[in-house]
Amino acid sequence: MSEALTALGWDDTFAQPYDAYLDTLSADDAGVSVPARVVGVERAAYQLRTEHGPSEALLAGTLQHAPDGARVAPAIGDWVVARPIEGEDRYRIVHVLPRKTTFSRAVNAGGPRRAVSEQVIAANVDVILIVTALDEDFNPPRLGRYVTAVRASGAQPVILLNKTDLVPDVLPFLEAARAVSEDVPVHAIRADAPGGQDALRAYLRPGVTVALIGSSGVGKSTLTNALLGRDAALTGEVRAADRQGRHTTTSRTLYVVPGGGLLIDNPGLREIAVWDPNLAAFEEIEALAAQCRFRKCTHTTEPGCAVQAAVRAGRLDPDRLDAYREQQTTRRARRR
């Protein structure tokens, strides 16, 4: 197993299905196939890393339009089987290898039955760092919901308390965060100070894929830059590309961290707080609810309900109201 591949996260869990897939190909096809990791996705264009460095790729038609409709589009972090496109400097992705972990969201696929389908946000992430800041963002019940979402993906959750400089005493925050879940490590960090992120190096071991999630403004970008060193990922990739005398677009989403480890910085993961109804705030609904005639309005059949009025007027998506109700119900159940 090549060292360049293991540094990208390749191991036996991928090597076995890879070999099995190659057995189904002709000797010629198998001979030119390579394993590659998806490090960038932009619409139909994919950036891969093979053991020889970065390259561009397209999706094979068979993956784009699977006959049973069960399209397996590669996501960031996926391991795939790729084959060079003849006469071009690009690959074609012909197969997606089974995932070790899958961080996904349910999306409303529409249609008469309001079908829900799964959108994979990131694949094969080993550790997800849940970032919170010691300001008004700090909210243990929400941390608990993040932990649940991370566990559902198969990745290991770790809680990071950032902006420790903003509080006189970190200890009560550490204790509250530790109480969220017994077996989730908690680290107090400072993303914006030299050495303030040292605790994280233990997770960024060669071949280990790490991702950051948390609300906007908690310090995910600052942390990413501190871990990567300014433009480290970019220069690293340009150098690898130069070896073969060409320039390849650098990946923006899966970085190779200097000193070991891989870091996924993905807008889809960043937005989890927005799209996961369990994590979301329902500010616009709460603003409407304040205008309901009855203070304990359930926004179902009460007269003078401003929330129902907004739904009837097309100003509020009924799906969002459903999600809000669901959240309120679980909260009431938890309080009991």
Ligand X SMILES: Nc1nc2c(ncn2[C@@H]2O[C@H](COP(=O)(O)OP(=O)(O)OP(=O)(O)O)[C@@H](O)[C@H]2O)c(=O)[nH]1
Binding site for ligand X (CB under 6 A): 162-163, 165-166, 190-192, 216-222, 270
d(CA 233, CA 263): 10
Closest to ligand X by CB, 13 or 221: 221
92 binds, among Zn ion, ligand X, none (CB under 5 to 8 A by kind): none
Q: Is 278 annotated as a binding residue?
A: no
Of residues 208 and 305, the one with the C-beta less far from Zn ion = 305
Residue 306 corresponds to which amino acid? A
Whether 37 and 52 have beta carbons less than 8 Å apart is answered as no
Flag whether 139 is marked binding: no
316 binds Zn ion (CB under 5 A): no
214 marked among binding-site residues? yes
| CB of 77 vs ligand X, minimal distance in Å | 19
Torsion of CA 86, 88, 94, 95, to 10 degrees: 130
How many of the other CB atoms lie within 10 Å of CB of 127?
21
CB nearer to ligand X: give 187 or 270.
270
Residues 6+ apart with CB under 8 A from 46: 38, 40, 56, 57, 58, 59, 74, 93
Binding residue per annotation — 110? no
φ, ψ for residue 210, nearest 5 deg: -120, 145
Residue 256 marked in a binding site: no
What does 292 interact with, of Zn ion, ligand X, none (CB < 5 to 8 A by kind)?
A: Zn ion
Scan residues 277-296 and list those touching Zn ion (CB under 5 A).
Answer: 292
Residues 132/326/116/305 CA torsion (nearest 10 deg): -110
For the chain, the C-alpha Rg in angstroms (whole number) is 23
Cβ 162 to ligand X shortest distance, Å = 5
CA atoms of 173 and 170, how far apart (whole Å):
5
Q: Which is nearer to ligand X, 130 or 321 (CB)?
A: 130
Compute CA distances 142 → 56, 137, 233, 332, whole Å: 38, 9, 32, 15
- Compute the half-sphere exposure of residue 124: CA atoms within 13 Å on the CB side of its CA: 27
Question: Is 219 annotated for ligand binding?
Answer: yes
Q: How far is the CB of 292 from ligand X (least distance, A)?
A: 32
Contact call for residue 297 and Zn ion (CB under 5 A) = yes
Distances (CA, A) of 188 to 180, 229, 259: 15, 20, 22
* Residue 299 interacts with which of Zn ion, ligand X, none, CB < 5 to 8 Å by class: Zn ion
User: How far, in whole angstroms, is CA 81 from its chain's centroid?
Assistant: 22
76 binds Zn ion per the rule CB under 5 A: no
- Answer yes or no: are the C-beta atoms of 214 and 220 closer than 8 Å: yes
221 annotated ligand binder = yes
CB nearer ligand X, residue 96 or residue 177: 177
| Ligand-binding site membership of 169 (annotated) | no
Interaction between residue 299 and Zn ion (CB under 5 A): yes
- Judged by beta carbon, residue 100 or residue 187, the one nearer ligand X is 187
Beta carbon nearer to Zn ion, 194 or 303: 303
33 is in an annotated binding site: no
CB of 166 to Zn ion, least distance (A): 37
Quick one: which of 189, 240, 305, 321 contacts Zn ion (CB under 5 A)? 305
Residues flagged as binding site for Zn(2+): 292, 297, 299, 305
Interaction site with Zn ion (CB under 5 A): 292, 297, 299, 305, 307
Residues flagged as binding site for GTP: 162-165, 214-222
